Structure 1
Amino acid sequence: MVSMKDISVTCGVSVATVSKALNNHSDIGEETKEHIRKVAKEMGYFPNSAAKALKTNRTYNLGVLFVDDDQSGLKHDYFSYVLDSFKRTAEQRGYDMTFINCCKTRTNKMSYLEHSMYRGFDGVAIACIDFYDPEVVELVRSDIPVVTIDHLFNNRIAIISDNVKGMKDLLTFVYNKGHRHIAYIHGMDSAVTQSRLSSFYKTAEELGLEVPDEYIKEAAYRDTKGSFAQTQELLDLPNPPTCILYPDDFASFGGINAITERGLNIPQDISIAGYDGIRIGRHLEPQLTTLRQDTEQVGAKAAESLVNLIEHPKTTLIQQVVVEGEVFEGRSVGTII
């Protein structure tokens, strides 16, 4: 295995100079740096991660704690794009990403905190999990730098999609299309659901829109069967809605099936809108109207905030970072004159 001493002999410089060049220290000239790096690459030198960790007190490895209720993993339409952006941004800053074992049938008996310490993570990002799980709370309260996605903890950086503004913009868009009978099938209880539902009611009040209790239904996120059943109930009402909002784009597919099964057309007979802006919704016919969340920014800001917290703990602000989305008009909400 090639060592820094081997490189120093070949380049005719000290081991300290080789180390500084490979670690991009400012007191080494650019020409010298480039020469040493070129020689190191030609000789097949790779830094030893364990030695680097001992010297810098970092492993340059970030842990990610992620699991959703239906165990969809990286097939999860929204979070897969968030985590892809997180990974790319972390790599640009010189960090790797490793998933924390969150399987319910774990055999290693280690808690999330113990697993994080065992792996030597410099920091951890937490997304799409039961944030009230005692193991999650233990990890959040530890000394390990933590950033959460779409959930707020005291004294922790949180990257939040603007669910309040997102729902307001979506409902206002539907209202401006002439709809006055708008139903909402929301997700199961969570911080995200609470924000969206409160925003729905507040926006409806501001618009002077009456929302009967029977227009508000509940189905799990990404649950097409639940959305199918709830859509059937809404269509059976004596005064059915002219537009139905769904908890997310994937769940809306269940609603679409219920509507087409009745022989109804979208948006001529009834309008629908989703939430998230997943790509498959753009390939439906008609194209799905939705609130498109900025997954690129959510993932990037989570990685940037976590790395900054690791590298500059004294100057990095512990704050809530809100990322806005935008209404994607699509063609699934018709105009009522």
Structure 2
Amino acid sequence: MVSMKDISVVCGVSVATVSKALNGHKDIGEETKRLVRETAKEMGYFPNSSARTLKTNRSYNLGVLMIDEANSGLTHDHFVMVLESLKVSAERHGYDITFISGSKQRKDKMSYLEHCRYRGLDGVVIACIDYDEIEVLELIHSDLPVVTIDHLFNDRTAIMSDNINGMRELFNYVYEYGHRKIAYIHGAENAAVTKNRLHSFYKIAEEYGLDIPDEYIRESAYRDTVITAQLTNELLDLADPPTCILFPDDYAGLGGMNAIKARGLKIPKDISVAGYDGIRITKILDPQLTTINQDTKKLGQYAAEKLIDLIERPKTTFTEHILVPGVLDKGATVSKLK
């Protein structure tokens, strides 16, 4: 392994000069910096991460805890885009990413917090998980810097999709197209995301003077195409079926759309539908799904940047709750009623 001493011999300078040049100290001339850096690159020198950790008291490693109820992992269309943005932003600041597994996944029965300690993580981003789980709460209440995505805790920074206004925009669009019989298959009711969307759904319906029948409201797990298809059929079998169905998310909506097509019905001629998230596949569907495009780039970017702020500037970084708005994609699955 190439050391700074090896570089100093080749460059004809002291080890201290090599160290200063590699770390960008101002008391080293630009020509010397260039010589040292080029020589280090040619010799294949890499800084020792252990030495860096001892010097800075940081590992430059961020943890990501994400376990959705459908066990989708990195096939989760929405969150994989958030994670990609988080990764890019973290790497831009010199940090790596480590995925955290807990006692359910590990043979050594480590908790989430214990795993973080074991890996020496500087901080953690938590997304798409049961936030009421004991091990998650242990991590939240620890002294480790934490940023959550789409869930609020006191004294913790959270990056939130603006689900309230997103649902309002979607409902407004459907209403303006003449629909008054609007059904909603929502996600798991104990999720913060669901609560905001569902409350917003009822609020805007109330403002329009619409009385939403209880049978128009159904619950399905997010990304569950099978249950969403089943519930879609139940809604269509009602004596007074809806003219438009809102799905919990785009992926689950694929199951609902398939159920509609299996009945020989056409979208949106016979029944209108809309999703939520704006995943890639919705852009190539025929007809293209009406949905809310979430800004996954900003969700991931803000999560990484705010976590790094908490790590590097703990005394001056405030706890924040940041709302990230989505954008309505009108698509072609909502028909205009007379």
Category of TM-score, reference length = shorter chain? over 0.9
CA distance in 1, matches of 2:14, 2:173: 67
Moved more, 138-147 or 7-16: 7-16
Where 2:64 maps in the other structure, the secondary structure is strand
Number of positions where the alignment pairs a residue of Structure 1 with one of Structure 2: 337
**Residue equivalent to 1:62:** 62
Q: Which amino acid aligns with 2:9?
A: V
Q: Which amino acid aligns with 1:181?
A: K
1:263: Cα distance to partner? 1.1
**Residue equivalent to 1:74:** 74
Where 1:188 maps in the other structure, the secondary structure is coil
**Residue equivalent to 1:295:** 296
**Residue equivalent to 2:88:** 88
Where 2:245 maps in the other structure, the secondary structure is strand
1:26: Cα distance to partner? 4.0
Q: Which amino acid aligns with 1:245?
A: L
Where 1:268 maps in the other structure, the secondary structure is coil
Kept in 1: contact 2:102–2:109 (CA 8 A): no
Where 1:285 maps in the other structure, the secondary structure is coil
Q: Which amino acid aligns with 2:227?
A: G
Aligned pairs for 1:1-337 within 5 A: 1-102=1-102, 104-189=104-189, 190-337=191-338
Q: For structure 1, which runs of at least 5 residues remain unmatched after alignment?
A: none
Quick one: structure 1 residues 89 and 105, their matched pair in 2 at CA, closer, same or farther if it must change by over 3 Å?
A: closer
1:106: Cα distance to partner? 2.1
Query: What percent of counterpart residues are identical?
Result: 64
Q: TM-score, normalised by structure 1?
A: 0.97
Kept in 2: contact 1:90–1:97 (CA 8 A): yes
1:272: Cα distance to partner? 0.2
Q: Which amino acid aligns with 1:41?
A: K
CA distance in 2, matches of 1:105, 1:316: 34
Kept in 1: contact 2:103–2:110 (CA 8 A): no
1:242: Cα distance to partner? 0.7
Quick one: structure 1 residues 294 and 26, their matched pair in 2 at CA, closer, same or farther if it must change by over 3 Å?
A: farther
1:101: Cα distance to partner? 1.4
1:58: Cα distance to partner? 0.9
Moved more, 98-107 or 267-276: 98-107
Quick one: structure 1 residues 268 and 9, their matched pair in 2 at CA, closer, same or farther if it must change by over 3 Å?
A: same
1:27: Cα distance to partner? 4.1
1:238: Cα distance to partner? 1.4
Kept in 1: contact 2:223–2:251 (CA 8 A): yes
Where 1:74 maps in the other structure, the secondary structure is helix
Q: Which amino acid aligns with 2:297?
A: E
Deviations 1:31-80 (A, max 9, x none): 43232211110111011111111111111111111111111100001101
Q: Which amino acid aligns with 2:298?
A: Q
Q: Which amino acid aligns with 2:244?
A: C
Kept in 1: contact 2:78–2:279 (CA 8 A): yes
Deviations 1:214-254 (A, max 9, x none): 11111110011111111111111111111000000011111
Kept in 2: contact 1:65–1:102 (CA 8 A): no
1:266: Cα distance to partner? 0.2
